[in-house]
Structure formats: C-alpha cells, structure tokens
Amino acid sequence: MTRPRVAVAQMTSIGDQEKNFSTVSRLCQEAKAQACSALFLPECVSFIGANQEETIAAMQPLDGPLMTRYRQLAQQHSLWLSLGGFQEQGPDAGHLYNCHVIVSAEGQIQARYRKVHLFNVEVQNGPVLMESRSTAPGNELVVCNSPAGRLGLTVCYDLRFPEMYQRLVFDMGAEILLVPSAFTKLTGRAHWELLLRARAVETQCFVIAAAQAGVHNHKRESYGHSIIIDPWGDVIAKLEDPLATGIAVVELDFEKLQKVRERMPMKEHRRQGRISMGWDQPATADEAAFAPGSTFKQ
C-alpha cells in the first residue's frame, strides 16, 4: 500500500505579496529536497493585511498574475500545493472569497473551496475580527483526488463546525481533511489541537493543518503549531518550534487508515437521516445543508 510523503508548512505571512511568495518558494525547495509529493500551506498564504482595505486591495481572480506564479512554482518543483487561503476576487468590489486552492504538480488548479464559515468574533482579551465585512461566504463542499489521497477542503474557523467534516468524509469520500489556518493565539491555546484531533478521530481521517504563526503586524498574531494527525488521533508530525517558519514531513500510513476503519466501521454505523428531533416526531430525511460541489477531475 502506498505511503505518500507529504509536508505541512508553517509561516508568518505579512502585508507583502512578494515576500510571502519567496517564503513559499523556499518552503517548496525544502519539501522537494525531502522528497515530498505535496506541500500544505496555511490560510492567508499569499497575504495578511493590517486592515480590511489592504486585504481588499490584495484580491485577484484565480486566473490573475499572482495565482499564475504560484501555479508555476508548483510546476517548477513538480509538487502538489495546497494554498490554504488566497484572497480571491469576490462577488463585488468590496468582498473577496477566502479561497483554498489545490494546484497539481503540473501547475493546474485541481480544486477551489471558498470558506463557508466566516469568523466574526470578538476574542476576549484579544482582537475583534469581522471577516464578513470584507469576505463573502462560499456555499459548496469540495473534495479532490491527489497523489497523497482524497482531500477534503476546509479553512480555519470551519474547524468548529463538525457537520461539514462528516459530509466531506461519509458522503464524499475524503481521506485527508485539510484545515489551513490563521488561528488566534488565545483560541489556539484553548482549542486548536483538541478540535483537530477530534475531527481526525470522529471521521477516521488524516488531518493536515498548516498554520500561520507569530506576529504579522501590530494587530495580528497567530498561534502556529502546524500539525498532522492520523486516523486514530495520534499526532504524527509537528514543527519542532511551534512558531518557526518551516515544514514537518511525514509518510501517511494508509494501511493504518484502513485498519482503523475496518475495526470500527463508523460509516456503516452512521444513522444520519434516520433520527428525529423528538420521541413524538417522525424521522425526517437528511436535508442537504450544502450543495456538494466536488471538483474532482482525475
């Protein structure tokens, strides 16, 4: 059985697309030097602005010059890239999509997922983040085949909405759940690893979570702790320094995934759609919350 070798990245994006691009370029070299077939990068990989105006000014369509350069980078290194969050030109001049893009080793866009759950939260003793002021939500679930396995795409705050992961895995066949993030320091300390391991255990999937780390500007600081978890919930890779820029490399053991799923066949045991909202209510059909939008192309 195959054991795809993959890398999870960690970085500190800033308000300078050129500098972030050269950081990613360096991380690609490292991943290639360690014989990886795929590199997973965090949310806001190409840019983190100091305010919403800067972020809006950074947005580009996926066929624009910046994404074209990231596609060339993937091709040059013959490496699959998960660009965990790209400021994609949105539905109007004041809104972008927080877009997770998968690029193949040939430099083709294989899938794009627009973040569904937007982070409008006043973190206690932390920042006030109102993502929906500048970001329009997506409304499609996306899975995508890759040499590493079948990927389920999500972004950051989505992590707190487990029903989405259930559908990506049990209805759409994902084997690796991606959660590229820019978690705040405070919420990260409290919930990051707990939630990620829970998603891995309850879906029997690998979870790959590339994180933004450290100080981006005078207002933003991220928790770091990029991590890869296996389908039993074991942590199999993390950055030695939870705030450093770099990668952690691991081989994904699909035999273990198969064993975990065989020994506890949760997909078969699932009774979604056969339970009612009360003892005196009839069981109703499972209503689709999202339109499945698989962009699987292979």
Q: Which is nearer to ligand KGT, 38 or 129 (CB)?
A: 129
| Number of Cα atoms under 13 Å in the Cβ half of residue 91 | 8
- Among candidate residues 28, 36, 43, 175, the one labeled active-site is 43
Q: Per rule CB under 6 A, is residue 88 in the interface with ligand KGT?
A: no
Q: Which is nearer to ligand KGT, 12 or 98 (CB)?
A: 98
Q: Per rule CB under 6 A, is residue 110 in the interface with ligand KGT?
A: no
- Among candidate residues 36, 88, 99, 115, the one labeled active-site is 115
Whole-number Å distance between alpha carbons of 67 and 64: 6
| Interface segment toward ligand KGT; rule CB under 6 A; list 34-42, 106-114, 176-184, 203-211 | 176-184
Strands (E), 154-234: 176-178, 206-209, 211-215, 221-223, 227-229
| Residue 36: active-site member | no
| Residue 43: active-site member | yes
Q: Per rule CB under 6 A, is residue 183 in the interface with ligand KGT?
A: yes
* CA-CA-CA-CA dihedral for 135, 293, 227, 159, to nearest 10: 60
**Chain centroid to CA 142: how far?**
11
Q: Which is nearer to ligand KGT, 36 or 141 (CB)?
A: 141
Residue among 3, 19, 133, 160 that touches ligand KGT (CB under 6 A)? 160
Q: Per rule CB under 6 A, is residue 48 in the interface with ligand KGT?
A: yes
Shortest distance in whole angstroms from residue 277 CB to ligand KGT: 27
Q: Per rule CB under 6 A, is residue 219 in the interface with ligand KGT?
A: no
| Residue 156: active-site member | yes
For residue 246, what is the enclosing H or E element? strand 246-251
User: 3-state DSSP call for residue 290?
Assistant: coil
Whole-number Å distance between alpha carbons of 144 and 220: 31
Whole-number Å distance between alpha carbons of 229 and 209: 9
Q: Per rule CB under 6 A, is residue 177 in the interface with ligand KGT?
A: no
Residue among 77, 104, 114, 131 that touches ligand KGT (CB under 6 A)? 131
| Interface segment toward ligand KGT; rule CB under 6 A; list 76-84, 105-113, 154-162, 275-283 | 154-162
Shortest distance in whole angstroms from residue 98 CB to ligand KGT: 6
Q: Which tokens in the block code for residue 274?
A: 């056969």
Q: Which is nearer to ligand KGT, 184 or 204 (CB)?
A: 184
Task: Write the CA distances from 108 to 64, 101, 105, 276, 297, integer angstroms.
Answer: 14, 10, 7, 44, 11
Q: Per rule CB under 6 A, is residue 270 in the interface with ligand KGT?
A: no
How many CB atoms are closer than 10 A to CB 89? Answer: 17
Q: Per rule CB under 6 A, is residue 14 in the interface with ligand KGT?
A: no
With CB under 6 A as the rule, give the number of residues binding ligand KGT. 15
DSSP character for 159? G
Q: Per rule CB under 6 A, is residue 221 in the interface with ligand KGT?
A: no
DSSP letter for each residue of 33-49: HTT-SEEEE-TTSS---
Under a CB-based contact definition with an 8 Å cutoff, are residues 34 and 288 in contact?
no
- Among candidate residues 156, 205, 221, 238, the one labeled active-site is 156
Residue nearest to ligand KGT according to CB distances in the complex: 187
DSSP character for 134? T
Active site residues: 43, 115, 156
Interface residues with ligand KGT (CB under 6 A)?
Answer: 43-44, 48, 55, 98, 119, 129, 131, 156-157, 160, 182-184, 187
